[in-house]
Homo-oligomer: A and B are copies of this chain.
């Protein structure tokens, strides 16, 4: 039986596995976590709206009835393309065809020490750590008596004006202005100052300009200070240094959330080291028309780790729909090869993109058709609910969303992990 190994159970890897359900191959899906994470909703865990389990589906449960698939929980450290083996702690696994779909993680442009001051948002643990910091900051402000220190605890800086940064800013504003309204006795949570810093000219720069500026005015209406052309030059405990054009400013701030950069998974570098793959400037693996690597037709790279440029087009963005469609396409390529057929080349079907901007507000770019406000939010809600993999999650998420919408409460605002220390 043809041995097919997939590394990574994200949108690319999982969809590839499911799409090969009826192929005569023996699939092993390897992931270091036991669940598929619905990353587009991770910011809702970070802001206490959803529980981690609401946006995670156990990989084994998803694939339990797929007879030709098995799951292996392991962290792949290297790929031996010569011997066609995947290497992980305590073992290795041979393959005939390999699909690498290990995605990306956040990075700090060389400032590794910034991570402890400004957590990013890629994993469940990242999200619960952000949640801990956000809600602990209000607790610290409540206990503090020095007005300067209170101000620093009630200042939240979000670095990066992409979709994640905008979503976090909007959710934070809702927490400060609505969720916590009656919770404190010394401070008024609505005094919180939320700053969204973006180094380029405008937020949501992958969207059309009119939607960017609508998003910015939605955020301004929520009381968020959106600062473009503003780059962080230094992060220290309790302070953020910002360069704005040619002026420098230091902002006292206890809570910084990182939504700026992503870096491709280390397996791209591993493939490049042994001369198998070529990387682009962002560390992504440059793939061919069918997502395979040049000279290694048996290795495919999909999802955020892949650098795919359609003929005469721009490189595809690192978003879920691209990964899903690539996963399905590669499954078809594998099937075609087994029967000696060929396949038309991949074309990305862009169904549009959407970003949440506060409560029940969104922007949507649906192929030239632009929506902003409540209708865009309804579209967002529908698309995301339909995509959650397991049925039970959909029901629970819907209950929690509905509850939040009507009561503006946040049921999951637990401070867990390290205990609160003032």
Give bound CA distance, A422 to B400, whole Å: 36
Stretch binding the partner chain, chosen from A47-55, A146-154, A294-302, A329-337: A47-55
Q: Are B53 and A412 in contact (CB under 8 A)?
A: yes
Task: Tell me the A31-60 residues at the B interface (CB within 8 Å).
Answer: 32-35, 51-54, 56, 58, 60
Chain B residue at minimal CB-CB distance from A140: B73
Give bound CA distance, A73 to B52, whole Å: 24
The copy count of this chain in the complex is: 2
A 79-90 to B, binary, CB cutoff 8 A, 1 in contact else 0: 000000000011
Q: Are B35 and A414 in contact (CB under 8 A)?
A: yes
A74 contacts B by Cβ under 8 Å: yes
Give bound CA distance, A184 to B60, whole Å: 7
A64 to chain B, nearest CB (A): 4
Chain B residue at minimal CB-CB distance from A28: B185
- Contacting A399 at CB < 8 Å: which of B34, B61, B396, B412? B396
A349 contacts B by Cβ under 8 Å: no
- Contacting A72 at CB < 8 Å: which of B58, B89, B143, B412? B143
Stretch binding the partner chain, chosen from A10-18, A262-270, A387-395: A387-395
Size of A's binding interface in residues, CB under 8 A: 56
Given A53-B51, A411-B396: A89 and B421 within 8 A (CB)?
A: yes
A 371-393 to B, binary, CB cutoff 8 A, 1 in contact else 0: 00000000000000000001011
Q: Are B74 and A411 in contact (CB under 8 A)?
A: no
Given A51-B53, A58-B413: A182 and B64 within 8 A (CB)?
A: yes
A135 contacts B by Cβ under 8 Å: yes
Q: Are A393 and B415 in contact (CB under 8 A)?
A: no
Give bound CA distance, A70 to B34, whole Å: 41
Given A399-B395, A414-B53: A420 and B32 within 8 A (CB)?
A: yes
Give bound CA distance, A81 to B254, whole Å: 36
Give bound CA distance, A136 to B73, whole Å: 9
A403 contacts B by Cβ under 8 Å: yes
A202 to chain B, nearest CB (A): 36
Q: A61-B413, A124-B414 are in contact. List 9 more A-B contacts (CB 8 A).
A: A34-B135, A34-B413, A51-B51, A51-B53, A51-B54, A70-B185, A72-B142, A73-B415, A91-B143
